[in-house]
Chains A and B, each alone.
Chain A
Amino acid sequence: MARRPFNLLWLQSGGCGGCTLSLIGAEGPDLLTTFAAAGIEVLWHPSLSVETGWSAIAIMHKVVSGEIPLDILCLEGSVMRGPNGTGRFHMLAGTERPVMDWISDLAAVAGHVVAVGSCAAFGGITAAGANHVEACGLAYDGAERGGLLGHGFLARSGLPVINVAGCPIHPDWLTEALHQIAAGRFDRSHIDEWERPVSYTNHLVHHGCSRNEFYEFKASAERLCDLGCMMENLGCKGTQARADCNIRPWNGSGSCIDGGYPCINCTSPGFEEPGHSFTATPKVSGIPVGLPTDMPKAWFVALAALSKAATPVRLKTNATADHVAVPPQDKRKRRP
């Protein structure tokens, strides 16, 4: 017998809507086909559903009362607790009630709770600066445990909030997790130390980076649009950031680094306030402060010095050019 479709309710709060917009760019297959394939029925989504006003609120009331069992609650955007803990920086339209209170009520009855994007997971961009709007994530306030629901929160399924972090998310990061959840095949072994799906955080952005050869020889870009490695001078965190952006292409073929600008580690809690310019590498005595993940400092310094000394002219030249100035050359035959 076919099982009841898994239903999904999506709320947006203190964010930009960009994760939804990224999501509707899903390909192979498209989003609606993906939902159908996973057996997911959209109970309500702010951008996709027909229900507006009272008919939307009625759905939420029925979910909270238990009349409609809720399988997956997705939150996109930060939880807005300000000003002074009142939540009045975001009242749910038509209800005179803070969105944070709706989120608490809905999370309490949800089978799974999914934070879509770094805002919903950790607070994200909305929590930047002095965070005078008191933005936080569902189970984290930046890197601190807590958030709106408290770090001990478990959804009905027994799983904590699943943090599909990213700014924005790659559509596949979410659709794969949702598909696994709906199939009953998503458990604790599928999340990392920040409860992010390991499907993408078992990788570093460095994996598959098209600038790896420049990295190997420490042939560094000096200005944005140069072809060289952006770690030494331009703030790139690809060797530390946890995501598969250079293995799983964005919008057909891209990634931040392929686009000519550094990885800003957007899947990490607190990425919004790195403590330095996003496009400049902080250094102590000329050595970058953020070393590659798992790399001992002495090794890095020694290898960097060695590889810099051995940098081929081709890489040295191309690193500070915006087009390939010196192409690879086959020793057996010169170019005309």
Chain B
Amino acid sequence: MSRLIVGPFNRVEGDLEVKLDVEDCAVRSAQVVSPLYRGFERILQGKQPQEALVYAPRICGICSVSQSVAAARALGEAQGLGVAENGRLAIDLIHAAENVADHLTHFYLFFMPDFARDAYAGQPWHEVAATRFRALTGTAAEQALPARAQLMHMMGILAGHWPHTLGIRPGGSTRAVTANEQARMAGIVSAFRRFLERVLFADTLERVASLSSADELAAWCMEKPAPSGDFRHFLSISDALGLDGTGRAGRLFMSYGAYHAAGGHLFRRGLWRAGRSAPLDASLIAEDTANAWYAESSGPLPPAAGETLPGDGTGKGYTWCKAPRLDGEAAEVGAIARQLVDGQPLIRDLVGSGSGNVHARIVARILEIALVVMAMERWIQDLRPNGRFCDHAAMPDDCEGAGLTEAARGSLGHWLKVESGRIANYQIIAPTTWNFSPRDGAGNPGPLEIALEGAAVRPGETEPLAVQHIVRSFDPCMVCTVH
């Protein structure tokens, strides 16, 4: 048995190290290390509750709006305040623009460049893929970056700027839009649709969204030559490398429910466990610090009563990441979980009653781009420019609230406790805290740790390709993970 330490693991958001025990050309076990601790939960203690809206988005530059939404929802619950309907739509649009941009950034900048690696030279698909997706010089980023930047003009209208808006409030958004701005936003999203339909899909969003099984997806892929559309390009490479057989984690998936317009969710809330739907009881969530660098606690703590007492980064444990568990079980979160829980037929067919894999995670994310952009088009039309965008209410001196939402990378929760007008406790569990959690006190590994077991390690590899695909298939956000 030999040990590989892979780090700095780049093209993920933030810092990551992965420790691998390797035997017989495969990973036997893995430890996922989050090497950065900043302490936002302690920064927030003692501050006035609404100040969380300044600090929370700055936990993360890529999930900034998600952090704002979770904080605003926690505050709103504590205030007993509803959200003005226009504000709800505006917040969903801001949130959707971030999430779609994140999916796009992941695909073009973080994930696909690995197929341009020289290690794949000689594969029949390599030369074309390398020209298209090579880091920094590939032709794809030249098209994707301007399209992404133009989509972010939504932020200029609705949120002041991105990242780190202060415009998302418990009762709505601070920026009422006018009728002409509504028209401009429709134009921005149309332009983005055009990019997706010409460059990413080489087909209409409606057609992509209608694919309902692995067979239909395969047939769609065969309709045109492989490099027609970057999604098809991915599918052909994924097929050649058998990515549907790699990176299998657990069989429990969780979603808090995504986008809140019209009182419901665009993607519903719940669990998907080994091929079956189940309701989510968020009161069963607890964080375990048995293998993280924090002071000993009496056992896993529910976040509403959680604590963050960092140690000195030595001794027991191997990461700053706590291990969240749902009734003792690790859960995978992200686009794949959202679509499984929501009942999206293609993703349910790709996963069946089994676990996720590299291929299905990428397909879920790309499919979600199509679904969310179509929803954005509807939400823009639903805005009522002359109506109210924000409601207000006082903050009680003593109260509690939880804010649950879905970031691009999965389930994000904030738990807030206010005493005598000040924040007494603030706990955050981010998507990658779930996915990249360490072993818990019972020795159960986190989703990535499971997914890496069995990954192929070719002779001489110091950063095994399979490991890189698996890690990046989760689109980890490490700055959120530990915060």
* Residue pair B155, A254 in contact (C-beta under 8 Å): yes
A residues at B contact (CB < 8 Å):
12-22, 24-27, 30-33, 42, 46-57, 80, 83-84, 86, 88-95, 125-126, 128-130, 132-133, 135, 167-168, 223-225, 249-262, 264, 277-279, 322-323
Complex-state Cα separation, A311 to B141, whole angstroms: 52
17 A–B contacts, CB within 8 A, in A order: A16-B64, A18-B64, A25-B149, A25-B162, A47-B110, A53-B462, A55-B463, A83-B312, A84-B312, A90-B35, A92-B8, A94-B7, A225-B169, A256-B161, A259-B167, A278-B166, A279-B50
* Residue pair B145, A32 in contact (C-beta under 8 Å): yes
Complex-state Cα separation, A18 to B153, whole angstroms: 17
Instruction: Mark interface residues in B141-156 (1 if CB within 8 Å of A CB, else 0).
Output: 1100110111011111
Contact residues of B between 14 and 42, Cβ < 8 Å to A: 14-17, 33, 35-39, 42
Shortest beta-carbon distance from B126 to chain A in Å: 14
In the complex, whether B136 has a CB less than 8 A from a CB of chain A is yes
- Which residue in chain A gives the minimum CB-CB distance to B468? A52
* Residue pair B136, A49 in contact (C-beta under 8 Å): yes
Complex-state Cα separation, A255 to B160, whole angstroms: 4
In the complex, whether B273 has a CB less than 8 A from a CB of chain A is no
* Residue pair B161, A94 in contact (C-beta under 8 Å): no
B residues at A contact (CB < 8 Å):
5-11, 13-17, 33, 35-39, 42-48, 50-51, 54-55, 58-62, 64, 105, 109-110, 113-114, 116-117, 134-137, 141-142, 145-146, 148-150, 152-167, 169, 172-176, 178, 310, 312-314, 320, 385-386, 388-390, 392, 462-463, 468, 479
* Residue pair B163, A168 in contact (C-beta under 8 Å): yes
Complex-state Cα separation, A251 to B141, whole angstroms: 19
* Residue pair A93, B61 in contact (C-beta under 8 Å): no
Shortest beta-carbon distance from B141 to chain A in Å: 6
**Contacts A89-B36, A132-B42, A264-B54 supplied; 16 other A-B pairs, CB < 8 Å:** A22-B61, A22-B163, A25-B162, A27-B149, A32-B141, A52-B6, A84-B312, A92-B8, A93-B33, A128-B55, A133-B39, A249-B156, A251-B155, A259-B159, A261-B174, A322-B389
Complex-state Cα separation, A251 to B152, whole angstroms: 6
* Across-interface contacts of B46 in A (CB, < 8 A): 129
* Across-interface contacts of A89 in B (CB, < 8 A): 36-38, 310, 313, 320
Among A47, A90, A253, A278, contact of B156 (Cβ-Cβ < 8 Å): A253
Shortest beta-carbon distance from A169 to chain B in Å: 11
Shortest beta-carbon distance from B167 to chain A in Å: 5
* Across-interface contacts of A21 in B (CB, < 8 A): 61-62, 64, 105, 162-163
* Across-interface contacts of A251 in B (CB, < 8 A): 149, 152-156, 161-162
* Residue pair B386, A323 in contact (C-beta under 8 Å): yes
Complex-state Cα separation, A83 to B294, whole angstroms: 13
Shortest beta-carbon distance from B166 to chain A in Å: 4
A56-B10, A88-B314, A225-B174 given as contacts; is B60 within 8 A of A18 (CB)?
yes
* Residue pair A12, B178 in contact (C-beta under 8 Å): no
* Across-interface contacts of A129 in B (CB, < 8 A): 39, 42-47
Among B35, B110, B134, B161, chain A packs the most CB atoms within 10 A around the CB of: B161
- Which residue in chain B gives the minimum CB-CB distance to A88? B313
Complex-state Cα separation, A88 to B64, whole angstroms: 26
* Residue pair A12, B14 in contact (C-beta under 8 Å): yes
Shortest beta-carbon distance from A101 to chain B in Å: 14
* Across-interface contacts of B17 in A (CB, < 8 A): 93-94
* Across-interface contacts of B142 in A (CB, < 8 A): 30, 32-33
A89-B313, A249-B156 given as contacts; is B6 within 8 A of A53 (CB)?
yes
* Across-interface contacts of B55 in A (CB, < 8 A): 125, 128
A30-B145, A259-B159 given as contacts; is B312 within 8 A of A88 (CB)?
yes
Among A48, A223, A261, A278, contact of B160 (Cβ-Cβ < 8 Å): A261
* Residue pair A93, B37 in contact (C-beta under 8 Å): no
- Which residue in chain B gives the minimum CB-CB distance to A253? B156
